Amino acid sequence: MLQRLSTLFLRTLREDPSDAEVPSHRLLVRGGYIRRAAPGGFTWLPLGWSVYRNVENIVREEMNRAGFQEVHFPALLPREPYEATGRWADYGDNLFRLKDRRGNDFLLAPTHEEMFTLLVKDLYSSYKDLPLSIYQIQTKYRDEARPRAGLLRGREFSMKDSYSFDIDDAGLQRSYDAHREAYQRTFDRLGLPYVIVSAVSGAMGGSASEEFLAPLEVGEDTFVRCTDNVCGYAANTEAVQVRVRESLPSVDAPAAHAENTPNTPSINALVSLMNHEPGLRRADRDWVAGDTLKNVVVMLRYPDGTSQPLVVGLPGDREVDMKRLEAQVSPAEVEPFGDEDFAKHPSLVKGYIGPSVLGIHGTSGIRYLVDPRVVPGSRWITGANEHGKHVVDLVCGRDFTPDGNIEAAEVHAGDPCPNCGSALEIARGIEIGHIFQLGRKYAEALGLSVLDQNGKQVVVTMGSYGIGVSRAVAAIAETCYDDKGLCWPREVAPADVHVVIAGKDEAQIAAAESLCHGLTGAGVRVLLDDRAGVSPGVKFNDAELIGVPTIVVVGRGVANGTIEVKDRKTGVKEDISLAGAVAHLAALCQ
RNA sequence: CGGGGAGUGGCGCAGUGGUAGCGUUCCUGCUUUGGGUGCAGGAGGUCGGGGGUUCAAAUCCCCCCUCCCCGACCA
């Protein structure tokens, strides 16, 4: 393959586009790979499309290698299947909806669980047909509230989505493991570093799920992992399970007693007062925020329009993490509890809410879920449900009983690893893949079952697995660039070798042409900068911006029978003889 | 959706009521040819959209759209 810059549909930019912030967006636009075409939508130019296809092909090859078969669905789909699974409502504003000329509802698919389930139902009806894993590489549509960062979060993007179908849970586990392995191979080939983290399944439903995150600061996901990888634990913050003892040994705490604590609607004010008031001071040490039990009220809004209050109790040194809370209450959305809501619930005294009125059996009737650190036997200072008063020595299990636990408290760096107890660290990552054990949710909703060996109908159990293909292009760019431009791994690069003709000397041009002819004959993909009247400086800069892994300069060395070979990533240059150049470069490119 | 910033030629920017400018890109000619050559001439803009105020609006007022950042949202 030989592409000539003299005719390539390309214009590089001399300056960074002002609306691009993250490196991948900035450099892909500047290098002439993509152009913004719509809010959250991009046009791929020849160089970009070439990289995109390389990535797509690697994904495809690895799926095929694992024995998964490719199919292809429309992106434009009718409402009914999504109605059957409840996702027409659950997806909310994020779903692109439209009507045909008869007024029938359609959607642009955000993902295809329903259609795959129906397709298998359409064709298969026996356990003998299973297991089955099929996939597609398709354009997906999600009406994101805020598209951002170029290709990293668009409203139209390309995704490889696979679905597995098994007769039982053991089969699902095998299919899941097969996908997990295929994903590891895929990301290894793409040159993408990744961390596999435990995740929550969110709107997808189902049980076990893991995310593949490329650990990069520009990523939108926050995850924790065991510092120095002591035990290998890693999880999305949403999925972190706090490790606590079941209960504390029964303490000989005095009976709970209410105290006057005027003007202490905040934890800080309360702790400060408790430490300064002689009658309230603690003998052995100062009170700290972690001694208090903070009760946060929120309103849960469900997709059907109903709403319901919830109180989350947690140690006063932590805030509620909205992402973690929403992951727990999904598909409900969390809204702040406003003054008018307080007016409707007079038993809740803002700033002084305590457990005695909470719980579905309490006077307020509001569900009360607590952080797992609030274990039976733990002792707290908390609101007395009276303005300016708090209760001290309130013991969980003795003086109050919550309705249950909830993982909604912030995770802090240094918190103990749930697995081994060593400190956790917090990092950011780009979600490049996600694998789910869906279970039977979709098969049940859409009636996908097969006959087993005994002639009995068995509901099929499913998994779903996604790789963001267009996002992977951006993620790869993010992992490999410098102040001069992009720097692609060879397998995804738009070419293997970028040949620059440095001078206008006939001998140089002839040498470059002959070299390129030899290279393409050897199966090397070549980009040739044969632009006449363009100064060498411009060509060098463009070559570095475009980021092909090997740059060859055919210039004044030709007089001595040599050319220069430069590694884009390391910057290492070496002069090699023109005579052996094809063999040398072909070996370099494998 | 909340907070902040911004929309002027392909790209980067100036322009606070009076003839739309600069740099770059692009075209022509000469020049230069190993790190974004130099000179000269030229092309390219309904100033995000709509309404309003005014003799006159890129500029002032109102509404909307879009982009960027933070948060919320988000397989």
Strand B bases within 7 angstroms of protein beta carbons: 1-2, 10-13, 23-25, 31-37, 66-75
What is the rounded CA–CA span in Å between residue A368 and residue A359? Answer: 5
Point out the residue nearest to B36 (C-alpha to C1').
A538
- Per-residue pLDDT at A251 exceeds 70: no
- Assembly ipTM: 0.86
In a domain, A195, yes or no: yes
And the tokens for A51? 């990289």
Omega of the bond leading into A46 within 30 degrees of 0 (cis): no
In a domain, A283, yes or no: yes
What is the rounded CA–CA span in Å between residue A380 and residue A390? Answer: 10
Of A446, A478, A510, the domain-final residue: A478
Point out the residue nearest to B67 (C-alpha to C1').
A19
| Least confident window among A81-90, A149-158, A195-204, A359-368 | A195-204
- Per-residue pLDDT at A334 exceeds 80: no
What pLDDT score does A461 carry?
93
Segment A171-188, tens digit of pLDDT: 999 999 999 999 999 999
State chain A's mean pLDDT as an integer.
84
- Report which of A358, A354, A376 is spatially closest to residue A367, judged by C-alpha positions: A358
In a domain, A416, yes or no: no
CATH number at residue A375: 3.90.960.10
**Average pLDDT rounded to a whole number, residues A84-89:** 80
Confidence category of residue A403, pLDDT binned at 50, 70, 90? confident
**How many angstroms is C1' of B12 away from CA of A207?**
50
Of A405, A439, A461, the domain-final residue: A405
Kindly state whether residues A306 and A178 are assigned to the same domain: no
**How many angstroms is C1' of B71 away from CA of A482?**
30
Kindly state whether residues A324 and A212 are assigned to the same domain: no
Kindly state whether residues A530 and A459 are assigned to the same domain: no
What is the rounded CA–CA span in Å between residue A546 and residue A526? Answer: 13
- Per-residue pLDDT at A307 exceeds 70: yes
Which residues are within 8 A (CB) of A135 and not within 5 positions of it... i.e. 6 or more apart?
A63, A68, A69, A70, A71, A160, A161, A162, A163, A465
What is the rounded CA–CA span in Å between residue A334 and residue A310? Answer: 9
- Report which of A416, A422, A381 is spatially closest to residue A244, judged by C-alpha positions: A416
What is the rounded CA–CA span in Å between residue A226 and residue A306? Answer: 40
Give DSSP secondary structure letters for A14-82.
SS--TT--SHHHHHHHHTTSEEEEETTEEEEPHHHHHHHHHHHHHHHHHHHHTT-EE----SEEESHHH
* 3-state SS, residue A103: coil
Which residues are within 8 A (CB) of A251 and not within 5 positions of it... i.e. 6 or more apart?
A377, A379, A395
Q: Where is mean pLDDT largest: A35-39, A486-490, A531-535? A: A486-490
And the tokens for A225? 């992992």
In a domain, A547, yes or no: yes
In a domain, A284, yes or no: yes
Backbone angles phi, psi at A184, to 5 degrees: -65, -45
Q: Where is mean pLDDT largest: A31-40, A285-294, A382-391? A: A31-40
**How many angstroms is C1' of B43 away from CA of A534?**
20
Smallest CA–C1' separation from A153: which nucleotide? B74
| Least confident window among A77-81, A333-337, A433-437 | A333-337
**How many angstroms is C1' of B69 away from CA of A53?**
32
Point out the residue nearest to B5 (C-alpha to C1').
A19
**How many angstroms is C1' of B34 away from CA of A31?**
22
In a domain, A413, yes or no: no
Kindly state whether residues A295 and A159 are assigned to the same domain: no
Kindly state whether residues A191 and A158 are assigned to the same domain: yes
In a domain, A360, yes or no: yes
In a domain, A71, yes or no: yes
Smallest CA–C1' separation from A163: which nucleotide? B75
**How many angstroms is C1' of B67 away from CA of A264?**
44
- Burial (Cβ within 10 Å: 0-12, 13-18, ≥19) of residue A487: buried
CATH number at residue A128: 3.30.930.10
**How many angstroms is C1' of B72 away from CA of A109?**
24
Segment A45-54, tens digit of pLDDT: 899 999 999 9
H-type helices in A207-318, by residue range?
A: 267-276
Kindly state whether residues A300 and A431 are assigned to the same domain: no
And the tokens for A113? 């669980």
Number of domains in chain A: 3
Which residues are within 8 A (CB) of A75 and not within 5 positions of it... i.e. 6 or more apart?
A108, A109, A138, A139, A140, A141
* 3-state SS, residue A99: strand
List residues bridging with A574 in a β-sheet: A565
Smallest CA–C1' separation from A502: which nucleotide? B34
Kindly state whether residues A95 and A123 are assigned to the same domain: yes
Smallest CA–C1' separation from A140: which nucleotide? B75
% residues pLDDT > 90 (chain A): 35
Residue A406: what residue type? Answer: I
Kindly state whether residues A345 and A268 are assigned to the same domain: yes
Confidence category of residue A151, pLDDT binned at 50, 70, 90? confident
Confidence category of residue A133, pLDDT binned at 50, 70, 90? very high
Structural domain range at position A89? 23-240+426-478
Omega of the bond leading into A489 within 30 degrees of 0 (cis): no
DSSP annotation of A93 = G
What is the rounded CA–CA span in Å between residue A161 and residue A84? Answer: 21
**Average pLDDT rounded to a whole number, residues A378-405:** 77
Smallest CA–C1' separation from A485: which nucleotide? B36
- Per-residue pLDDT at A200 exceeds 90: no
Higher pLDDT, A351 or A154: A154
**How many angstroms is C1' of B16 away from CA of A185?**
60
CATH number at residue A541: 3.40.50.800
Give DSSP secondary structure letters for A398-411.
TTB--SEE---BPP
Kindly state whether residues A387 and A439 are assigned to the same domain: no
In order of A63, A231, A531, the CA distances from A507 in angstroms are 47, 61, 16
Sheet containing strand A526-529, strands side by side: A2-4, A526-529, A497-501, A550-554, A562-567, A573-577
Backbone angles phi, psi at A18, to 5 degrees: -75, -20
| Least confident window among A248-262, A293-307, A382-396 | A248-262
Confidence category of residue A137, pLDDT binned at 50, 70, 90? very high
What pLDDT score does A367 carry?
78
What is the rounded CA–CA span in Å between residue A53 and residue A34? Answer: 14
Smallest CA–C1' separation from A555: which nucleotide? B34
Smallest CA–C1' separation from A564: which nucleotide? B34
Smallest CA–C1' separation from A537: which nucleotide? B35
**How many angstroms is C1' of B55 away from CA of A18?**
39
Kindly state whether residues A302 and A364 are assigned to the same domain: yes
What pLDDT score does A203 carry?
46
What is the rounded CA–CA span in Å between residue A231 and residue A25? Answer: 36
Kindly state whether residues A285 and A200 are assigned to the same domain: no
- Per-residue pLDDT at A252 exceeds 80: no
Segment holding A119, helix H or strand E = helix A113-123
Of A405, A434, A454, the domain-final residue: A405
Which residue has tokens 């300064």?
A276
**How many angstroms is C1' of B22 away from CA of A241?**
59
Kindly state whether residues A84 and A229 are assigned to the same domain: yes
- Report which of A65, A442, A404, A398 is spatially closest to residue A254, judged by C-alpha positions: A398
